[in-house]
Amino acid sequence: MNGVNILLTLSFLGLATFIASAYDPSPLQDFCVAIDDPNKASVFVNGKFCKDPKYAKAEDFFFSGLNIAGDTNNKVGSNVTHVDVDKMPGLNTLGISLVRVDFAPYGESPPHTHPRATEILVVVEGQLSVGFVTSNQDGNRLFSKVLNKGDVFVFPIGLIHFQFNPGKVPAVAFVGFGSQNPGTITIANAVFGSNPAINPEILAKAFQLDQKIVEQLQKKFWVAN
Ligand code: MN
Protein backbone atom coordinates (compact mmCIF):
# COMPACT_ATOMS: atom_id res chain seq x y z
CA MET A 1 0.00 0.00 0.00
CA ASN A 2 1.58 3.30 -1.02
CA GLY A 3 1.36 6.57 0.86
CA VAL A 4 -1.61 7.90 -1.14
CA ASN A 5 -3.63 4.71 -0.55
CA ILE A 6 -2.91 4.80 3.16
CA LEU A 7 -4.04 8.42 3.24
CA LEU A 8 -7.26 7.55 1.34
CA THR A 9 -7.95 4.60 3.65
CA LEU A 10 -7.44 6.78 6.72
CA SER A 11 -9.76 9.48 5.30
CA PHE A 12 -12.41 6.84 4.59
CA LEU A 13 -12.16 5.46 8.13
CA GLY A 14 -12.49 8.99 9.45
CA LEU A 15 -15.61 9.54 7.33
CA ALA A 16 -17.09 6.18 8.46
CA THR A 17 -16.57 7.19 12.10
CA PHE A 18 -18.26 10.52 11.45
CA ILE A 19 -21.26 8.83 9.76
CA ALA A 20 -21.59 6.34 12.63
CA SER A 21 -21.63 9.14 15.21
CA ALA A 22 -24.29 11.09 13.27
CA TYR A 23 -26.96 8.82 14.84
CA ASP A 24 -27.74 8.15 18.51
CA PRO A 25 -24.53 6.48 19.67
CA SER A 26 -24.44 2.92 20.96
CA PRO A 27 -24.13 2.99 24.74
CA LEU A 28 -20.82 2.00 26.31
CA GLN A 29 -22.57 0.78 29.46
CA ASP A 30 -25.80 -1.10 30.27
CA PHE A 31 -27.74 2.15 30.62
CA CYS A 32 -27.44 5.82 31.50
CA VAL A 33 -30.63 6.93 33.29
CA ALA A 34 -31.02 10.66 32.62
CA ILE A 35 -31.08 13.28 35.34
CA ASP A 36 -31.67 17.01 34.95
CA ASP A 37 -28.53 19.08 34.77
CA PRO A 38 -27.75 20.00 38.40
CA ASN A 39 -25.62 22.92 37.24
CA LYS A 40 -27.20 25.11 34.56
CA ALA A 41 -23.77 26.36 33.51
CA SER A 42 -22.57 22.87 32.56
CA VAL A 43 -22.09 21.91 28.95
CA PHE A 44 -25.00 19.89 27.58
CA VAL A 45 -23.71 17.33 25.10
CA ASN A 46 -25.95 15.10 22.95
CA GLY A 47 -28.06 13.52 25.67
CA LYS A 48 -28.49 14.04 29.37
CA PHE A 49 -26.40 13.54 32.49
CA CYS A 50 -26.49 10.02 33.89
CA LYS A 51 -27.73 8.90 37.26
CA ASP A 52 -25.23 6.81 39.18
CA PRO A 53 -26.24 3.28 38.04
CA LYS A 54 -26.50 2.03 41.62
CA TYR A 55 -29.42 4.44 42.21
CA ALA A 56 -31.32 3.35 39.05
CA LYS A 57 -34.72 1.75 39.65
CA ALA A 58 -37.40 -0.01 37.62
CA GLU A 59 -39.45 3.23 37.41
CA ASP A 60 -36.64 4.82 35.35
CA PHE A 61 -37.46 2.32 32.60
CA PHE A 62 -41.24 2.51 32.93
CA PHE A 63 -44.09 4.63 31.57
CA SER A 64 -47.81 4.13 32.09
CA GLY A 65 -50.71 5.62 30.16
CA LEU A 66 -50.43 4.74 26.47
CA ASN A 67 -53.81 3.01 26.81
CA ILE A 68 -55.35 6.49 27.24
CA ALA A 69 -56.57 8.28 24.10
CA GLY A 70 -55.16 11.78 23.54
CA ASP A 71 -57.45 14.81 23.14
CA THR A 72 -57.94 15.34 19.40
CA ASN A 73 -60.12 18.43 19.81
CA ASN A 74 -57.81 20.82 17.91
CA LYS A 75 -57.48 22.29 14.39
CA VAL A 76 -55.72 19.25 12.91
CA GLY A 77 -57.76 16.61 14.78
CA SER A 78 -54.85 14.60 16.15
CA ASN A 79 -52.87 14.18 19.34
CA VAL A 80 -49.42 12.76 20.05
CA THR A 81 -48.56 11.21 23.42
CA HIS A 82 -44.77 11.00 23.69
CA VAL A 83 -42.70 8.44 25.53
CA ASP A 84 -39.31 10.04 24.99
CA VAL A 85 -36.30 10.57 27.21
CA ASP A 86 -38.11 13.38 29.07
CA LYS A 87 -40.92 10.98 30.05
CA MET A 88 -38.75 7.87 30.53
CA PRO A 89 -35.24 8.79 31.78
CA GLY A 90 -33.96 5.25 31.19
CA LEU A 91 -34.18 5.87 27.43
CA ASN A 92 -31.12 8.14 27.61
CA THR A 93 -28.44 7.00 25.09
CA LEU A 94 -30.52 4.00 23.94
CA GLY A 95 -31.45 5.52 20.56
CA ILE A 96 -35.16 4.66 20.62
CA SER A 97 -38.53 6.13 21.69
CA LEU A 98 -42.27 5.63 21.23
CA VAL A 99 -45.47 7.65 20.74
CA ARG A 100 -49.19 6.99 20.57
CA VAL A 101 -51.06 9.04 17.96
CA ASP A 102 -54.84 9.51 18.10
CA PHE A 103 -56.77 10.75 15.08
CA ALA A 104 -60.32 12.09 15.11
CA PRO A 105 -62.42 11.25 12.01
CA TYR A 106 -60.72 13.19 9.17
CA GLY A 107 -57.97 14.25 11.57
CA GLU A 108 -54.36 14.38 10.45
CA SER A 109 -50.76 14.68 11.44
CA PRO A 110 -49.83 17.49 9.02
CA PRO A 111 -46.70 17.35 6.84
CA HIS A 112 -43.64 17.27 9.10
CA THR A 113 -40.18 15.78 9.43
CA HIS A 114 -38.07 14.31 12.23
CA PRO A 115 -34.50 15.59 11.97
CA ARG A 116 -33.00 12.80 14.07
CA ALA A 117 -35.05 9.64 13.45
CA THR A 118 -36.64 7.18 11.12
CA GLU A 119 -40.27 6.49 12.14
CA ILE A 120 -42.06 3.13 12.01
CA LEU A 121 -45.85 3.15 12.49
CA VAL A 122 -48.45 0.47 13.16
CA VAL A 123 -52.20 1.11 12.94
CA VAL A 124 -54.10 -0.50 15.83
CA GLU A 125 -57.53 1.09 15.26
CA GLY A 126 -59.24 2.53 12.17
CA GLN A 127 -57.57 3.50 8.92
CA LEU A 128 -54.80 5.93 7.90
CA SER A 129 -53.74 7.39 4.59
CA VAL A 130 -49.98 8.00 4.92
CA GLY A 131 -47.07 9.07 2.78
CA PHE A 132 -43.61 10.57 2.53
CA VAL A 133 -41.85 12.60 -0.17
CA THR A 134 -38.26 12.04 -1.26
CA SER A 135 -35.61 14.77 -1.48
CA ASN A 136 -35.29 17.19 -4.44
CA GLN A 137 -32.40 15.15 -5.87
CA ASP A 138 -34.68 12.11 -5.98
CA GLY A 139 -37.45 14.04 -7.77
CA ASN A 140 -39.71 14.72 -4.76
CA ARG A 141 -41.46 11.41 -5.32
CA LEU A 142 -44.50 10.64 -3.13
CA PHE A 143 -44.71 7.16 -1.59
CA SER A 144 -48.20 6.70 -0.13
CA LYS A 145 -50.46 3.97 1.13
CA VAL A 146 -53.79 3.43 2.85
CA LEU A 147 -53.19 1.46 6.06
CA ASN A 148 -55.68 -0.67 7.95
CA LYS A 149 -55.53 -2.22 11.41
CA GLY A 150 -52.29 -4.20 11.74
CA ASP A 151 -50.56 -2.52 8.79
CA VAL A 152 -47.08 -1.06 9.23
CA PHE A 153 -45.32 1.75 7.32
CA VAL A 154 -41.86 3.26 7.68
CA PHE A 155 -40.92 6.93 7.13
CA PRO A 156 -37.19 7.36 6.42
CA ILE A 157 -35.21 9.81 8.55
CA GLY A 158 -35.52 13.48 7.58
CA LEU A 159 -38.17 13.08 4.85
CA ILE A 160 -41.41 15.08 4.92
CA HIS A 161 -44.38 12.83 5.74
CA PHE A 162 -48.02 12.91 6.88
CA GLN A 163 -50.84 10.72 8.22
CA PHE A 164 -54.54 11.33 7.61
CA ASN A 165 -57.61 9.50 8.92
CA PRO A 166 -60.02 9.16 5.97
CA GLY A 167 -62.60 7.25 8.05
CA LYS A 168 -65.70 8.23 10.01
CA VAL A 169 -64.33 6.60 13.15
CA PRO A 170 -61.25 7.47 15.23
CA ALA A 171 -57.89 5.92 14.32
CA VAL A 172 -55.02 5.00 16.64
CA ALA A 173 -51.40 4.32 15.76
CA PHE A 174 -48.25 3.52 17.72
CA VAL A 175 -44.96 4.83 16.39
CA GLY A 176 -41.38 3.84 17.14
CA PHE A 177 -38.47 6.26 16.50
CA GLY A 178 -34.77 5.51 16.06
CA SER A 179 -33.81 8.24 18.52
CA GLN A 180 -34.49 8.99 22.18
CA ASN A 181 -35.35 12.51 20.99
CA PRO A 182 -36.43 12.44 17.31
CA GLY A 183 -37.53 16.10 17.18
CA THR A 184 -40.39 17.30 14.97
CA ILE A 185 -40.49 20.10 12.40
CA THR A 186 -44.06 20.74 11.28
CA ILE A 187 -43.68 22.41 7.90
CA ALA A 188 -46.50 24.97 8.20
CA ASN A 189 -45.43 25.93 11.73
CA ALA A 190 -41.78 26.34 10.82
CA VAL A 191 -42.47 28.29 7.62
CA PHE A 192 -45.51 30.43 8.52
CA GLY A 193 -45.37 30.34 12.31
CA SER A 194 -41.70 31.07 12.99
CA ASN A 195 -40.79 33.48 15.77
CA PRO A 196 -39.98 36.11 14.69
CA ALA A 197 -41.76 35.84 11.33
CA ILE A 198 -39.81 35.25 8.13
CA ASN A 199 -39.98 38.29 5.82
CA PRO A 200 -43.29 37.74 3.91
CA GLU A 201 -41.65 38.92 0.69
CA ILE A 202 -39.34 35.90 0.87
CA LEU A 203 -42.21 33.48 1.47
CA ALA A 204 -44.38 35.08 -1.24
CA LYS A 205 -41.65 34.38 -3.81
CA ALA A 206 -40.85 30.92 -2.43
CA PHE A 207 -44.48 29.74 -2.50
CA GLN A 208 -45.58 31.78 -5.56
CA LEU A 209 -48.24 33.49 -3.45
CA ASP A 210 -49.51 37.04 -3.10
CA GLN A 211 -47.78 38.65 -0.12
CA LYS A 212 -51.18 39.39 1.50
CA ILE A 213 -51.95 35.65 1.58
CA VAL A 214 -48.58 35.01 3.21
CA GLU A 215 -49.32 37.66 5.83
CA GLN A 216 -52.72 36.03 6.51
CA LEU A 217 -51.02 32.64 6.90
CA GLN A 218 -48.49 34.16 9.31
CA LYS A 219 -51.33 35.43 11.54
CA LYS A 220 -52.83 31.95 11.99
CA PHE A 221 -52.26 29.71 14.99
CA TRP A 222 -50.43 26.55 13.91
CA VAL A 223 -50.98 23.38 15.94
CA ALA A 224 -47.64 21.70 16.64
CA ASN A 225 -48.54 18.03 16.11
MN1 MN B 1 -43.79 11.64 12.02
Distance, CA 134 to ligand 1 centroid (Å)?
A: 14
pLDDT tens, position by position, for the chain (225 residues)?
Answer: 455 454 444 444 444 444 344 557 677 788 888 887 666 656 666 678 888 899 999 999 999 999 999 999 999 999 999 998 889 999 998 999 999 999 999 999 999 999 999 999 999 999 999 999 999 999 999 999 999 999 999 999 999 999 999 999 999 999 999 998 899 999 999 999 999 999 999 999 999 999 999 999 999 988 776
Distance, CA 12 to ligand 1 centroid (Å)?
A: 33
Q: What is the pLDDT of residues 136-145, one digit of tens each?
A: 999 999 999 9
Structural domain contains residue 27: no
Structural domain contains residue 98: yes
Distance, CA 218 to ligand 1 centroid (Å)?
A: 23
Output the domain CATH number for residue 73. Answer: 2.60.120.10
Structural domain contains residue 163: yes
Distance, CA 142 to ligand 1 centroid (Å)?
A: 15
Structural domain contains residue 90: yes
Structural domain contains residue 199: no
Structural domain contains residue 46: no
Comparing C-alpha atoms, which of 78, 70, 194, 172 is closest to residue 123? Answer: 172
Structural domain contains residue 102: yes
Distance, CA 113 to ligand 1 centroid (Å)?
A: 6
Domain hosting 62: range is 58-183
> Cα-flanking dihedrals φ and ψ of residue 137, to 5°?
-65, -25
**What are the beta bridge partners of residue 50?**
34
Number of independent structural domains in the chain: 1
Distance, CA 194 to ligand 1 centroid (Å)?
A: 20
Compute the chain's Rg from CA coordinates. Answer: 21
Structural domain contains residue 209: no
Q: How far is CA 54 from CA 28, 49, 81, 128, 138, in A?
A: 16, 15, 30, 44, 49
Q: What is the pLDDT of residues 173-221, one digit of tens each?
A: 999 999 988 999 999 999 999 999 999 999 999 999 999 999 999 999 8
